[in-house]
Amino acid sequence: MHDDTQQNCSVNFPLIGDSAPGFVARTTNGIIKFPVDYAGRWVVLFSHPMDFTPVCTTEFLAFQSAINDFKNINTEIIGLSVGAISSHLAWLNSIHNDINYKNWKNVEIQFPVIADMDLSIAKLYGMIHPNVSDTKTVRAVFIIDPAGIIRTILYYPQATGRNILEIFRVLIALQTNDAFGVSTPADWMPGAPVLESLPQTNTDMKKRIATKNKNMQTWYLTFRDLPEPKIYEKLSKRKK
């Protein structure tokens, strides 16, 4: 039986492996054309629910504090909310003049913040979740690679701040996957062992077993040492 009290809250959004939807937007740094303006670079596109709110303020400070680390791995940050440019600018000015958090003070937010007043970009990316709010975005994160392909999607509720170090860790893991053809295990950090790809045939499986690799626990779980300096050296060479 159909329950008329159940609201239909289906949301369309791009998935991992899809091309990131394109858009032209006004931001605190001027007009951007996405993904054209960011071709060849990784992008963290994130949404925040509202300007002048406590959780969002701490997140902006955390993103800005790590901006050089992101740039060092060829990654740009773009923020988005439904606020107007005037609101965004006033809030960023307040962050610079009024806030001292974790000894982050007089911080100038350098990354662009999109003004999505008509919700068009938020809806395009599935950042509006109607059972939470139909006028404010959830805390969405889209990690997009240099070819414009979505590689990771993260969602957080409005009251829970994101872990910026985890977003950075995911970026390093994705770039390590691509650069070295390996996978990363649970709780992986740069410098820890990585995982060899699975054998794809019975012959390959038997060859792996026959090698008696000291890092092989069983044919489907084989580790490889990959020093942190080697990772960053390779990733820096891949920057454009």
Q: Which residues are catalytic?
A: 56
Is the Cβ–Cβ distance between 41 and 165 less than 8 Å?
Answer: no
Which pLDDT does position 2 carry in this prediction? 43
Over 50: is that where the pLDDT of 183 sits?
Answer: yes
Domain boundary among the residues 129, 162, 195 is at 162
Amino acid at 12: N
pLDDT (mean) for 158-178: 96
Task: Indicate the DSSP class of residue 149.
Answer: B
Whole-model pTM: value is 0.91
- Our separate counts of H helices and E strands in the chain read 7, 12
- Is there a domain that residue 191 lies in? yes
Rounded distance between C-alpha atoms, residue 78 and residue 46, angstroms: 6
199-228 pLDDT, tens digit per residue, is 999 999 999 999 878 899 999 999 999 999
User: What local confidence, expressed as pLDDT, does residue 11 receive?
Assistant: 60
Asked whether the predicted pLDDT for residue 4 surpasses 90, the reply is no
Domain count for the chain: 2
Structure token pair of residue 170? 């995911």
56 shares its domain with 107? yes
The predicted structure's pLDDT at residue 214? 87
Per the structure, the complete domain to which residue 37 belongs is given by 23-162
User: Other C-beta atoms within 10 Å of 142: how many?
Assistant: 24
**Residue 122: which of 110, 108, 133 has the closest Cα?**
133
Asked if pLDDT for residue 9 goes beyond 60, the answer is: no
Residue 137 has pLDDT above 70, yes or no: yes
Asked whether residue 125 is domain-assigned, the answer is yes
Are 37 and 137 in the same domain? yes
Per-residue pLDDT band for 135 (boundaries 50, 70, 90) equals confident
54: CB partners within 8 A, 6+ apart: none
Q: Are residues 147 and 196 in the same domain?
A: no
| pLDDT at site 212 | 76
Query: Is 34 inside any structural domain?
Result: yes
The conformational region for residue 220 under phi > 0 = left, psi -120 to 50 = alpha, else beta, is alpha
Considering the domain architecture, whether residues 42 and 156 belong to the same structural domain is answered as yes
Q: 63: closest CA among 207, 168, 187?
A: 168
Confidence of residue 184 (pLDDT cuts 50, 70, 90): very high
Please give the average per-residue pLDDT across 185-208, as a whole number: 94
Q: Which residues pair with 77 in a beta bridge?
A: 44
**In a 3-state reduction of DSSP, which class is residue 71?**
helix
Q: Does residue 120 surpass a pLDDT of 80?
A: yes
